[in-house]
Structures are given as C-alpha cells and as structure tokens.
A and B are shown apart, each in its own frame.
Chain A
C-alpha cells in the first residue's frame, strides 16, 4: 500500500533556459518561448548536434566571482534557485537542527571532473585544486545550500543514473 504524505510548497526558485528566476521563466512559458538555441561556441564543432538549452542567466553574476570559483556550475545554478526559493518563502528563522536540504543531481559537477582530469594529465597532481572534490561530488549542491541557510539537520542527495530523483536503484549521498 502506498503511503501518502503531504508536502507544502512555501517558496519557488528557478534559473532556466527561459530566465534567471521564476518570474521570467513563467513569463517565457506563457509567451510560448523556447529556451533552445543554436550553440555557436567552438566546443560543438565536432558534435553532430548543434542545439541546446543553456541557462539564460550567468549564475556567476548572482553568486559572485570569488565564491563561484569554488563551485561547479551545477552548484552555482542550484544555489541561485535555492536563494530565490528561500527568499520567496520569507527567509524564515528556523531551528537549524530541524532544517534539512534535499537536492538532486543526475551526475554532479561533470565539468569539474573533466577539467581536473585535464589538469592532472597536462600539469600533474600538484596543480589540482583543493576544491576539486566538493566541486564534483553529486551532493555538493545540497552542501552549499545547507551552509547558505544554516540547515544542520541534514544535506541529502539522491542520484540515479542520469535521472535525478529517488528511484529503485538510487544512491543516497549525505
């Protein structure tokens, strides 16, 4: 028998191919806009597919350059959306021991993983950033968000192959 639990949504946050927040994303959806565009950057030259739906807003602009250096892009995007959701909920003052974070990621910081491998091959282990692991780990986003809002009850991530979210074969990272 399926157990049904009630979830209350108190705030919304988003940064998407349609806009850097909920309002612009929603407006884009209502206007029937598509976030898909042709990619002009050189890294797609050898790829058969030349289209994608990149985020409309640069998360570095929101997070700040110095903090962003320590974060993978997926973590930056997650933090931007979480900040908006938290503010949307009224930034409530809660007992940190009763506040938790659950954020999923399909793979985590793949860009950081690949960049670290390139650095390892080209420059050696001593040039690897000390932030490599927190940037590539799938639960990095949950960690950053939990520090941002002082959530000490837990920072959890469920990751299942390429599909984020709880699945039968999911792995839970804490």
Chain B
C-alpha cells in the first residue's frame, strides 16, 4: 500500500467520522489543532483505521499520532510487505 493510498483512505475515514472534507486531510495537518478533531473522535478514527488498514494501534502509541503524516507513517511501517 502506497503512502498516497493510505492518505486517501485516512481522508475517507476522517470525513466519515468527523465531517472534515477528505481533501483537507493533508500530511502536515494536526488532527486537534488544524482539523478540530477531539480526543474521542480520534479514538474512533483509530478504530476505523485499524479495520481499514489491518493494523493494530496500541493505546500508548495513539497519543503520539498527532498529525496526518504520523498516521500515514505508522500504517505504512506496520503494513510493509502486506
């Protein structure tokens, strides 16, 4: 899965859960500061991302995924070779 595909999939998730247009979900954006996503919605996004990309995001690592690029990197790293 390419980073672009992950970004597109993440954009769909964010739009579905938080109502933020997928086109605004760009790599440098912070979920909290730029996309106005609260912590509970962030947990929902993480749950949806785990289902969509087939990865496990441990609770203690979720707090470190603050930007869109962070999530893209995490998914890319944990789906390598799949």
Contacts and interface: CB of A to CB of B under 8 A. Distances in A.
Contacts of B44: 69, 129-131
B14 to A, nearest CB: 11
A123 B54 CA distance: 12
Most buried by B among A126, A129, A131: A126
Interface in B17-49: 17-19, 40, 43-44, 47
A130 B18 CA distance: 14
B51 A69 contact: no
A56 to B, nearest CB: 26
Interface string A122-154: 010011011100000000000000000000000
B51 A127 contact: yes
Interface of A: 64-66, 69, 123, 126-127, 129-131
Interface of B: 17-19, 40, 43-44, 47, 50-51, 56
